[in-house]
A and B are shown apart, each in its own frame.
Chain A
Amino acid sequence: MTTDALTIARRTLLAPAELEDRHLQQVIGTILSAPVDLADIYLQFARSESWVLEDGIVKQGHHSIERGFGIRAVCGDKTGFAYSDVIALDTLREAAANVRAIARHPGNHRQAIPCPNRPKTLYPAVDPLHSLTNEDKIALLRRLDELARRSDPRVEQVIVSLAGTYEIVLIATQDGALHADIRPLVRLNVSVILHADGRRERGSAGGGGRTDYRYFLEENRAETYVDEALHQARVNLEAREAPAGTMTVVLGAGWPGVLLHEAVGHGLEGDFNRKGTSAFSGRIGQRVASPLCTVVDDGSLPGRRGSLHIDDEGTPTGHTVLIENGILKGYLQDLQNARLMNAAPTGNGRRESYAYPPLPRMTNTYMLAGDHTPEEIIASVDRGLYAKNFGGGQVDITSGKFVFSASEAYWIENGRISHPVKGATLIGNGPDVLTRVSLVGNDLALDPGVGTCGKDGQSVPVGVGQPTLRVDGLTVGGTHL
């Protein structure tokens, strides 16, 4: 994997500018002549495309090429960063001179802890844009549109989008190492609007991962997204007002794991904890969840949207236990924060592109399975909400308050699903929501590959997952008292 990737990366990123490995090391060398702890150059090429079908026709497509480099010097807790869309020796040198200035400001130095290498192929070094012909991409979109319209006469609008990215990264680090990774990423999304008796409701579903477009043709995956989108819209056409107040909530398996991403994941990122601004700061070894809960972040799952061979600083990704049987175990680290906290980097240093410096970020975050069937969990609730699927979420790291929005939900009465209710926002407190988890399902599922996480204006693809969970007390933001 690595040799191939390195060859492709050199050919794509260095050769056109007549650059060689030694030039990158020379540039890094000019930074290292100042007293810095870390210096690296991140070169990136990304070719992306998207095709959108609407009103039954493929109306538009977009193609984009991004190419550039980011260069960084870290001195204790200080970072100098510069980037350019022009990969050339003079722009590299100019950027290096700019970032080197950070070293004039003395930082707090700590000792680094080296991290072992773990090469293993998680996804193929393919260009997904070429995995189907343009004709076949369009035929796929049209087939899904027809399927949706045929399946329900109430369909008023269908929007299907197909997107793919072929990304090549090359990272030169201060120890002379050169890391490369080829990162394919595809995504298919189906959104429908159903209209009946003057009421309109939307449903949407999709998936993808680090693979090529043929993934959507296997196991009728694309068709299942259509079914799922229609199902959601149908349920919402029947939905009554959502309840308001604090109640028992059963959360579905899979994408509802966005709960973990917001409630605990962000709060465990190294930067916030190094600075002491997280509601989880200084709580390693303490109980932050019920003994039923074990939460991990794993960037080394094959083919997942949040997976990476190496993070954007060249550290291999891995399996990091965040919470084990309810006890807080660890944080997610990039190189800078690991160094400052005397911890090992965990392969979580990620960046949106060369134009942004790396930050500690999640990869695929999920909770391990428990013993109960989802049916048992629903049957255990007298009155409460079953939130089967979700939209996005958000968290205030410092106060610990987080929200996430149900997109498909049902009212539970006497242990049975009574009727669908409208989507609503749920709000809770990160450090104690998991202490109220009283039942954990045996149906762990990861999301279908749709997540994008935002932090400091940077978006990165992520995964989440969980089994069905019962939470005894979460505030549901409906309108019905």
Chain B
Amino acid sequence: MEIAAQLKALEDKVAQALEQAKKLGATGAEAGAGIGWGLSVSARMGEVETMEHHRDQSVAVTVYFGQRKGSASTTDLSHASLRETVEAACVIAKHANEDPYAGLPDPDHLAREIPDLDLYHPWPLSAEEAIETAIACEKVALQYHREIVNSEGASVHTHQGVRVLGNTLGFLHGYPASRHSVSCAVVGERDGQMQRDYWYTVARDPEELESPESVGRKAAERTIARLGARSLTTRQCPVIFAAEVATGLIGHFLAAVRGGNLYRRASFLVDSLGKQVFPEFVHIHEEPHIPKGIGSAPYDNEGVATYPHDLIHQGTVASYILDSYSARKLGMTTTGNAGGVHNVLVDPGSLDRSGLLREMGTGLLVTELMGHGINLVTGDYSRGAAGFWVENGEIQHPVEEITIAGNLKDMFRNLVGIGRDVDRRGNIRTGSIWLAEMTVAGD
């Protein structure tokens, strides 16, 4: 089916669901429908390993009976199932308690102009071509070095789809989007020690993907660099989070200023609006309208218009991350973040990664983190780590089987520098982040 026809079909489903909710007595309703299709292939040791064809569809509906709310979803878009789903949402709403903060967004906040963010670039790749691409990617990794002895394979994913959102305030919009990726993971061995690492590229437009050969080479480089890893003795030292893991650190900040965690008082950054959290040179902002951006969206999951704004200005919290509900709970206004953030950018500094290492002199460069040891209520942070020990600004040896620990409040306040080696692949874009000190536990 043509995209326009897909859009029309989904709009009909959404309109149908809203109409039925009203018929069942709902005072307000919101419905979203999506359909997507794609191909995933992987190759391992030079041959195809898996070939998967995807086709997903779903409808989700939220209904309000006054201040009572219920929601339901289904992957079955048949008329009967849709009706059953709306009914189920209504049953739940009738049983839920009155919540004075529940309800559709303020009509004034709904997106009116829908910017075209250029998010739809299908990759007309046959299964055979996808397999050849994966094989080519892995081949570079396998041939990179004699110490690359095994592989978890290379994968190629393509996905495109259409999503429509509507509510009983008259909002009804949809747009197509695509997302493609190539990844590779290989295993190296030296003196009986095995190490694995990976690399990936992801983009809306296949033209913007890194070449499969480059992905394979980086996966192999990273794996070889880890061979010979050993633990460190327990110590306190400066730590640089490489850009690809620094995104996680920024992610913890975003979680701590998300409305849901703030009104629940489940964050170490409650009541932090206008307060200094990072040093003055730190600037973090959301840019939802970057053309082809992985996180770009014209409106959020409630239909509220997204807009560019600061989250951290001169080190202080400029905005929380709110949807309509959490905003009402906090006595504030939605920031267009129902469903999450859309392209968070951390302004880069002037130094590249080796410049940062030189400036740090002695310390730890972290390239991989393990586990979930983040307590958002207290800010306590303790995670498994792997990376490299640095002396005189030079990498000395790979390290593993260590933990790094601190408190996020202190870690943010004691941020020393940000690199210009920005990882642009994800929804959070930052360079490497250098922290003054953390506790490293090891031997």
Binding site for B on A (CB under 8 A): 49, 51, 54, 57-68, 77-86, 95, 98-99, 101-102, 105, 134-135, 138, 156-157, 159, 193, 195, 199-202, 242, 244-246, 275-277, 279, 355, 357, 391-399, 401-405, 422-429, 475-481
Contacts and interface: CB of A to CB of B under 8 A. Distances in A.
A425 B401 contact: no
A402 B222 CA distance: 20
B371 A425 contact: yes
B360 interface: no
B370 A403 contact: yes
Interface string B69-103: 11111111100010011001101100111110010
Nearest to B270: A200
A102 B380 CA distance: 49
Given A63-B88, A85-B76, A394-B372, A424 B403 contact: yes
B264 A57 contact: no
A392 B372 contact: yes
A398 B265 contact: no
11 contacts: A57-B99, A78-B49, A83-B54, A99-B53, A202-B377, A277-B151, A357-B50, A398-B195, A403-B371, A425-B382, A427-B371
Contacts of A428: 401
B375 A202 contact: yes
Interface stretch (B7-15, B200-208, B280-288, B435-443): B435-443
A401 B380 contact: no
Given A81-B52, A394-B372, A477-B405, A277 B102 contact: no
Contacts of A397: 196
Interface residues of B, number: 78
A60 B74 contact: no
Given A423-B380, A478-B441, 7 more contacts: A57-B96, A63-B91, A85-B56, A85-B57, A134-B91, A396-B196, A427-B403
A423 B381 CA distance: 9
B426 interface: no
A39 to B, nearest CB: 14
B293 to A, nearest CB: 23
A63 B371 contact: no
User: What 9 pairs between A and B have smallest CB-CB spacing?
Assistant: A477-B403, A403-B384, A403-B371, A398-B196, A57-B97, A61-B92, A425-B373, A63-B88, A244-B441
Contact of B384 (A57, A79, A199, A427): A427
A428 B403 CA distance: 10
Given A427-B384, A478-B382, A481-B236, A81 B50 contact: yes
Interface centre among A49, A60, A95, A99 (most CB of B within 10 A): A60
Given A79-B51, A202-B266, A63 B75 contact: no
A425 B403 contact: yes
A396 B187 CA distance: 12
B152 interface: yes
Contacts of B69: 59-60
Contacts of A355: 54, 56
B97 to A, nearest CB: 4
B136 interface: no
B350 interface: no
B137 interface: no
B378 interface: yes
B53 A81 contact: yes
Given A61-B71, A80-B51, A479-B406, A405 B99 contact: no
Contacts of A202: 266, 375, 377
Interface of B: 44, 47-58, 69-77, 81, 84-85, 88-89, 91-92, 95-99, 102, 127, 150-152, 187, 193-196, 226, 229, 231, 234-236, 264-266, 370-373, 375, 377-378, 380, 382-384, 386, 400-407, 439-443
A60 B92 CA distance: 8
Contacts of A64: 72-74
Interface centre among A59, A83, A102, A479 (most CB of B within 10 A): A479
Contacts of A423: 373, 375, 380, 382
Nearest to B194: A398
Given A427-B402, A477-B382, A63 B89 contact: yes
A171 B127 CA distance: 27
A80 B69 CA distance: 42
A85 B35 CA distance: 10
A279 B194 contact: yes
Nearest to B386: A401
B412 to A, nearest CB: 16
A67 B57 CA distance: 11
A181 B401 CA distance: 42
Contacts of B373: 391, 403, 405, 423-425, 477
Contacts of B73: 62-65
B85 A65 contact: yes
Nearest to B95: A134
Given A394-B384, A405-B371, A65 B150 contact: no
Contacts of B377: 193, 200-202
B75 to A, nearest CB: 4
A402 B372 CA distance: 12
A275 B372 contact: no
Interface centre among A64, A105, A398 (most CB of B within 10 A): A398
Contacts of A402: 370, 384
A49 B402 CA distance: 41
A66 B75 CA distance: 5
A73 B147 CA distance: 34
Contacts of A245: 234, 441-442
Contacts of A275: 44, 150, 152
Contacts of B44: 77, 275
Contacts of A276: 150
Contacts of A102: 48, 51
A70 B440 CA distance: 46
B19 to A, nearest CB: 19
A57 B243 CA distance: 42
Contact of B382 (A54, A85, A195, A424): A424
B51 A81 contact: yes
A98 B53 contact: yes
Contacts of A403: 370-371, 373, 383-384, 403
Contacts of B231: 475
Given A134-B95, A393-B371, A398 B236 contact: no
A148 to B, nearest CB: 14
Given A195-B265, A398-B196, A62 B102 contact: no
A456 to B, nearest CB: 10
Nearest to A195: B265
A63 B69 CA distance: 12
